[in-house]
């Protein structure tokens, strides 16, 4: 989850500024600030049952929520979640292929990239998810909201100008709380559970 501090304060200001535009009011469903986070690894997704997204040999029966939670707990016991700080820098404020809108990050240096990517590879192997599409190309990000409608061209251009103004000055480095294993029903709430 995102920690309190200068980055969060700036993100709140960006959210308020963009939310005040016509497109921000009508085309984006903004997520609550309490849900702001950067995913280190997205684990087993219960609503994604295609074979390429599911750990081999893991059952998909009626108790699959508990089975998958225990599966991820076992993987994390083998490869504990890295400790913060997660040294990241902002690369972009914009839309994602998933329909989300938010901040993209990259690791601040080669050492941090090696540290986080090595852990992602280890936890993916332990969870049987190394084969998942996008594992190697995953981009760290923080989602602020999701597109729910297409704005007209004038509203979209005004929104883009507002976003460009917000990024005219660099954002402070993000500050995150220690990573936790979480469960969620939707993107508005993430409940930590013991690993």
For residue 62, the model assigns a pLDDT of 67
List residues bridging with 100 in a β-sheet: 146
Domains of the chain: 6-193 (3.90.1140.10)
Task: Tell me how far apart the terminal alpha carbons of the chain are, to the nearest angstrom.
Answer: 16
Taking residues 71-83, what's their average pLDDT?
96
Q: What is the DSSP string of 26-59?
A: HTEEEPPGGG----S-----TT--SGGGS-TT--
Separation CA 84–CA 115 (nearest Å) = 11
pLDDT tens-place string over residues 145-174 = 999 999 999 999 999 999 999 888 889 999
| Residue 138, burial from CB neighbour count under 10 angstroms (0-12, 13-18, 19+) | middle
Q: What is the mean pLDDT of residues 81-100?
A: 91
Q: Output phi, psi for 93, to 5 deg.
A: -120, 110
Examine the pLDDT at 20 and tell me if it is beyond 90. Answer: yes
Window from 92-96, 123-127, 151-155 with minimum mean pLDDT:
92-96
What pLDDT shows up at residue 195?
81
Give the pLDDT of residue 40.
Answer: 96
**pLDDT tens digits along 22-70:** 999 999 999 999 999 999 999 888 777 788 888 877 877 767 788 889 9
């Amino acid at each position: 989850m995102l920690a309190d501090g200068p980055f969060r304060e700036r993100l709140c200001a960006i959210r308020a500024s963009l939310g005040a535009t016509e497109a921000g009011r009508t085309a984006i469903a903004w997520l609550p600030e309490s849900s702001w986070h950067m995913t280190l690894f997205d684990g087993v997704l219960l609503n994604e049952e295609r074979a390429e997204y599911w750990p081999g040999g893991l059952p998909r029966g009626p108790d699959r929520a508990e089975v998958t939670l225990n599966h991820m707990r076992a993987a994390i016991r083998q490869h504990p979640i890295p400790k913060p700080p997660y040294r990241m820098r902002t690369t972009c404020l914009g839309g994602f292929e998933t329909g989300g809108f938010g901040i993209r990050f990259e690791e601040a240096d080669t050492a941090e990239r090696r540290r986080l990517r090595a852990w992602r590879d280890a936890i993916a192997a332990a969870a049987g998810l190394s084969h998942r599409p996008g594992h190697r190309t995953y981009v760290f990000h923080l989602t602020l909201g999701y597109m729910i409608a297409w704005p007209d061209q004038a509203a979209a251009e005004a929104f883009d100008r507002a976003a460009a103004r917000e990024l005219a000055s660099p954002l402070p480095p993000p500050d995150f709380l220690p990573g936790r294993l979480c469960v969620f029903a939707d993107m508005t709430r993430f409940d930590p559970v013991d690993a």
